[in-house]
A and B are shown apart, each in its own frame.
Chain A
Amino acid sequence: MLNIQPSAPEPIYRQILEQLRRLIAAGQFAEGERLPSVREVAVTHAVNPMTVSRAYSLAEAEGLLERLRGKGMVVAAQSARTRSQSERLALLELPLQALSRQVQELELPAELVLRRLGKLLGE
């Protein structure tokens, strides 16, 4: 479910945190749903358990996750769908910045890119 790219310029803990934010905001994780344990994520992706643990702790501090005794990390009650539109837009900040960098590098007019994006969004 998580997509980890070790060689990306984003640290792995940040990739996990961003994905948790997006998946929870999109409702792909239900309230109370159990997340894979730190060990499971570490084994699946061959990454350091401390990195996974760091991402989970940050998500817990943000109120996205809750630590339940005997159950591990679960999606916190009311964490997701109560987010405002501007909060959900803020989750796109990093991909949008990366996109705008690439548009500048390719020296493409913004209008052309926006038109294409509109099409992708089904406008």
Chain B
Amino acid sequence: MSESNCAPLVAQGLWHTYEEHSALRGVDFTVEAGSVLGLIGRNGAGKSTLIRALLGLLVPSSGCALVLGEPALRLTDRIKERIAYVPQQPEAFPWLTATQMFAFVGRFFPRWDDAFVRATLSRWDVPTGRPLAKLSPGERQRVELIRALACRPDVLVLDEPAAALDPVARRDLLREVALRAGEDGCTVLFSTHIVSDLERVASQIALLHAGRLLLHCALDDTKERYARLWLPPRHAAAAPDAALSRRAHSDGSLTLVVGRGARGDWPPAVQLDGARLDALGLEDLFVEIAA
């Protein structure tokens, strides 16, 4: 088996269609061990479908996914116990209370961290005495985040985890994700449309738009290799072809997202008289590309 096939998460030509609608249109990527991949995209971009296909929770129309070297659709228990996943709307064990659920689930995970569960339950203000079905969606997701982290997984997949958390809990989660990846070598895939959360902890960024991966690179590269170029109307024709996005304004001027070439140089158009090159934060880059 080649080295890339042993990577924690691999997508190979994933396509998926719901009735008439194509949610994924050929996604290929590999998440390296110990990295924190931030999956960003607008609502409906296909993030949740991609995550479910990656973990073998849906059968893609074509293509395949591998988790820790095994086909996602035929994972063995040995691999499953090394993965933790928190969906956007958790539904498991509605009749159990959080305490009962942790006691039950913990038995299946050799590295279950009970001390973490107890410390985080009070810090994140989770009701432990009511059945999970009676909790609010936010409380339910906090329970699931605690469960996922307590397994001490090798692969942690979180689908839009930030919405359920207040700023203190959110910061706790980001800190936990950063340390798990940076110190324990845990691989994290984290989908969100709140890009500022990712900027703290992500090492890699993947931008999914209308079912296609438009960008997959190191987070630092998004800031150092890409910039916004504005060209006045008289130079609009000189715009470089290889732009990531292109927006024409009513006055004939043009805004583009351009990247550095192989030798680190910007396209020649940046030197034109009146052209302006601006650094881009991740959110700006996201908006320019996905708007």
**Interface set of A (CB-CB < 8 Å, partner B):** 6-14, 39, 42-43, 45-51, 53, 101
Contacts and interface: CB of A to CB of B under 8 A. Distances in A.
Nearest to B284: A9
Contact of A50 (B200, B203, B223): B203
Contacts of B219: 11
**Residue in B34, B178, B223, B283 with the greatest tally of chain A CB atoms within 10 Å:** B178
Interface string B35-73: 010000000000000000000000000000000000000
B96 interface: no
A8 B220 contact: no
Contact of A46 (B201, B220, B281): B201
A86 B29 CA distance: 46
Contacts of A53: 182
A9 to B, nearest CB: 3
Interface in B254-291: 278-284
Contacts of B223: 9-11
**Which bucket holds chain B's interface residue count?**
20 to 34
A14 B279 CA distance: 14
10 contacts: A7-B196, A11-B224, A14-B224, A42-B182, A46-B178, A47-B178, A47-B201, A49-B179, A49-B183, A51-B203
- The dominant DSSP class at the A interface is helix
Interface of B: 34, 36, 171, 174-175, 178-179, 181-183, 196, 199-203, 219-220, 223-224, 278-284
Nearest to B198: A6
A47 B28 CA distance: 28
Contacts of A12: 199-200, 220
A10 B36 contact: no
A9 B200 contact: no
A9 B279 contact: yes
A39 B182 CA distance: 9
A42 B199 contact: no
Contacts of B279: 9-10
A42 B201 CA distance: 9
B196 A42 contact: no
A108 to B, nearest CB: 16
Given A14-B220, A48-B203, A49-B179, 19 more contacts: A6-B196, A6-B199, A6-B200, A7-B199, A7-B282, A8-B281, A9-B279, A11-B223, A39-B179, A39-B183, A42-B178, A46-B171, A46-B175, A46-B178, A46-B200, A47-B178, A48-B36, A48-B201, A50-B181
